[in-house]
């Protein structure tokens, strides 16, 4: 169970149509955050590998924590699936 400071982020799935608010501990991993967003998806199912990027388009390591990846209050992240 993560126990870091709670932060709010804005998550976007690359093939979706709107962004969602996610409130999460900042010691959560980038990969878990992406899975949480994918679970809320309204887009047609797109299984398989994905990448997570920040607003500048830099790819984030899914094993890193949000704080470690530089994500803080009010930041955008995008989860891109192939296909």
Partner 1 sequence: MVLRRDDWLDLSRKVDWTYRYVDERDVFPEAVSGSPWLAHKAWEDWNEVYRTTYREYVANQRAKDDAVLGVRSALNKGHIVEGLDPGWVQLVKFHNGALALAEYAGAVAELRMARFGRDSAWRMMATLGGLDEIRHTQIPLLLGHDLLSFDGNFDWTHRAYHTNNWVLIAARHLFDDMFLAADAVDLAIQLNFVFETGFSNLQFMAMAAMADRAHHHYFEKALASIQTDEARHAQIGHPVLRTLIENGAAERAQYLVDKMWWRCWRLILALTGTAMEYLTPRPARTHSFKEFMEEWVVDQFMKNLAEFGLDRPWFWDTFVEELDWAHHSFQLGLYAYRTTLWFDVALPDAEERRWLAGKYPGWEDAFGPLWDGLEERWQAEGEPGTLATALPALCNLCQLPTLFVRPGRNTACTAEVDGRRYLFCSEPCRWIFTREPGRFTGHRNVVDRIVVGEAPGKLTDLHRWMGLEAPIETGKDLRRGLDRWRLEPVPTA
Site residues for partner 1 per CB under 8 A? 8, 10-12, 14-23, 40, 42-44, 55, 72-76, 78
Which C-beta is closer to partner 1: that of 4 or that of 72?
72
* Nearer to partner 1 (CB atom), residue 35 or residue 55: 55
Rounded CA-CA distance 81/32 in Å is: 15
Please list, residue by residue across 9-21, b when 16 or more beta carbons sit within 10 angstroms of its beta carbon and e when fewer do. Answer: bebbbeebeeeee
**Cα–Cα nearest to 71, from 16, 19, 2, 5:** 5
CB of 2 to partner 1, least distance (A): 18
Instruction: Decide whether 27 or 75 has the Cβ nearer to partner 1.
Output: 75
């Amino acid at each position: 169970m993560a126990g870091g400071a709670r932060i709010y982020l804005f998550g976007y799935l690359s093939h979706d149509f709107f962004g969602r608010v996610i409130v999460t501990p900042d010691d959560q991993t980038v990969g878990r955050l992406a899975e949480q967003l994918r679970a809320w998806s309204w887009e047609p199912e797109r299984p398989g590998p994905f990448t997570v990027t920040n607003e500048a388009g830099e790819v984030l390591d899914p094993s890193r924590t949000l704080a470690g990846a530089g994500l803080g209050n009010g930041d955008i992240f995008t989860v891109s699936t192939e296909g």
